[in-house]
Amino acid sequence: MPSPIPAVRTIKTYAVTPRPNPDAPRQLEMSAWDVPMLCPHYIQKGLLFAYPPDLSLEQIIQRLRSSLEEALFHFYPLSGRLRVVTCEGGGVTCHVEVGVEGEGAEFVHAVADGIGIADVVAADGQDLPDFLKEFFPLDLALNFDGCTSPLLVIQLTELKDGIFIGCVFNHAIGDGTSFWHFFDAFAEISRCKAVGKEVVLSRPPVHDKWFIGGYGEPPIKLPYSSPEEVVVRFSPPPLRERMFHFSSESLAKLKAKANSECGKGTISTFQALSALMWRCITRARGFPPEQKTSCRLAIQNRARLQPPLSPNYFGNSIYAAPTTTTAGELLNNNLGWAAWKAHEIVSNHTDSAIRDMVHKYMQNPIVYNLHMFDIHSVMMGSSPRFDMYGCDFGWGKALAARSGSANKFDGKVSAYPGWEGGGSVDLEVCLLPEYMSALEGDEEFLAVVSPPIKLEVLLGKSIK
C-alpha cells in the first residue's frame, strides 16, 4: 500500500538566542577544513521517536526550546552568521560573527498531516519516502547561505503517533563528528531539564581552531573577486534512496572473508563493507573495463594529527580520501583485493599526510562544490561510530535516524549505526533508478545484506 501524500505544515517558527557567553569572541576564524565547505549543503539529519509518554506537546516544545537555548550557549558558533568579505587588493575571506542582535538559531514546530511512524520507517524493499525532505528546513541551502540564514535550525515535526526532530547544521561550521556532538549535548541538556538537574555537559566543545602553523593565524584568502563568485548551487538528479541493514553477524563474515582473501588480517569491518559497496555499485553501473573508478572514504583527522586534536574539537576536521582503479580490475579481483585498497588509504592518512594536504590547500585555496564529485565513483560518508541512538532527550531511544535531501548524488552512501547496536550497520544508498534496480538484484550484495529490524520490535523496545 503506497504511503499517503504528506502535507507538512509549519505552525510556528521561534528565534532562539542564547544568553551571552563571556568566553565567546565576537569574530571566529575559519580553518583550512572549514573554508572549503562554503558550497556544499547544510547537514540534514534527524531522529524519529515514539510520542513521549506523559508529556503534552506544549511541554515537549518548551523543553526543546529551552534546551536549544542552553546548547547554543556552549556551541556558540551556531548562533552566529557567516561573513564573506572582499579584501582590499583582491580576494575574499570568511569568518563567523557571533552575538549580533537579531541573529541566532531557529526552532520550527511543524505538523505532518496523516503521516505515522510506519510511513517514516518504510517497509523492507521500499524506497525512502520523498516527504522526509520536508522534515528539514533550508532544503538545498548552501553553507554560504549562512551569511543571511541561521547556521542551525531544529524542526520538531508532529506525526500522528510520534515526533521527528530534524537538525539542519551549517557544514562550514562543523563536520559529522561535530554535528552529532552538538545533537548529543542538546539531548543531554533535555534529560537534565526533565529531572531538574543542573546542566554540566559531559563533553564540552573545544572551539580553538587548528591551523597549520598553530592557532590564531590570519584568515584564509580565497582567489575570488567578490563573495558571489563563491556560489555554485547544486540540485541532485532524480534518485532512488534506500536503507539497507547489515547485522553484526553478517558483517563479521564479510570481514573474515576480506581478510582471508587478502591474506593480511588487518582489514576492518567498515573497510570490507566499503569494498563491497564499491564493487557492487560499480557492477550495477555496467562500466566498461577500462573506466576509472574511485571509492572515497570520509576519514577523521582529529586522532591522526600529532599531537592529536581533542575528540571534542568543534569544527571540520575530515578528508574524503580516494582509492582508484579501473572497473575491470576492481571486478576481476576479489573482495579482499578491494578491501586492501580501502585499508591502504586509511593507514596512509597520517599526521604528515594531513599536514601535506593542508600545505597544498593553503598554496591554492578553493571552495568545494557538489558538481566536483566524479560520477564514476562511490562516496562513503557519515560513520557507524556516531552515537546517533545515544541521543536520548529523556523519552527513550530513537526508532530510526533519517536524513533530508542535502549533499546527495548518484553514488553517495551514508553509514549509520544499526538500531540494535553490537556492530550492526545501516547504509543509506543513493543511486540513479536504473543502478538501484541492478543493485537490488546483485548476488554478491544480496548475500551480505540482512532483513531490517521489524517495526513492532522497535516500538516494543523504545518506550521507557
Q: Which of 34, 392, 410, 426 is an active site residue? A: 392
> Long-range contact list for 349-356, CB < 8 A, 24+ apart?
349/299, 349/301, 349/304, 349/319, 349/321, 350/304, 351/304, 351/305, 351/306, 354/301, 354/304, 354/305, 354/319, 355/212, 355/305
- Say if residue 328 is exposed, middle or buried (CB neighbours under 10 Å; 0-12, 13-18, 19+): middle
Amino acid, single-letter form, for residue 35? V
Going by their DSSP bridges, the two strands 292-300 and 318-326 should be labelled as antiparallel
In angstroms, rounded to a whole number, what is the distance separating the alpha carbons of residues 82 and 97?
Answer: 6
Tell me the three cell numbers of residue 204: 564540552
Q: Residue 255, Cβ neighbours under 10 Å: how many?
A: 19
In angstroms, rounded to a whole number, what is the distance separating the alpha carbons of residues 63 and 79?
Answer: 19
In angstroms, rounded to a whole number, what is the distance separating the alpha carbons of residues 177 and 299?
Answer: 11
Tell me the three cell numbers of residue 300: 577523521
Which secondary structure element, helix H or strand E, spans residue 322, and what is its range?
Answer: strand 318-326
For the question of residue 349 being annotated catalytic, the response is: no
Residue 263 gets the label, from left (phi > 0), alpha (psi -120 to 50) or beta, of: left
Roughly how many angstroms between the first and final C-alpha of the chain, as a whole number? 31
DSSP one-letter string for 328-354: HHHHHS-HHHHHHHHHHHHHT--HHHH
In angstroms, rounded to a whole number, what is the distance separating the alpha carbons of residues 297 and 302?
Answer: 15
Provide CB contacts within 8 A for 408, sequence distance 6+. 236, 239, 241, 430
The answer to whether the beta carbons of residues 448 and 276 sit under 8 Å apart is yes
The answer to whether the beta carbons of residues 34 and 159 sit under 8 Å apart is no
Q: Which of 171, 181, 245, 343 is an active site residue? A: 171
Provide CB contacts within 8 A for 382, sequence distance 6+. 176, 298, 414, 415, 416, 428
In angstroms, rounded to a whole number, what is the distance separating the alpha carbons of residues 352 and 304?
Answer: 9
Tell me the three cell numbers of residue 19: 544568553
Phi, psi for residue 142 in degrees, rounded to 5? -80, 155
Going by their DSSP bridges, the two strands 240-246 and 92-97 should be labelled as unpaired
Amino acid, single-letter form, for residue 446? L
For the question of residue 171 being annotated catalytic, the response is: yes
> Catalytic site residues?
171, 392
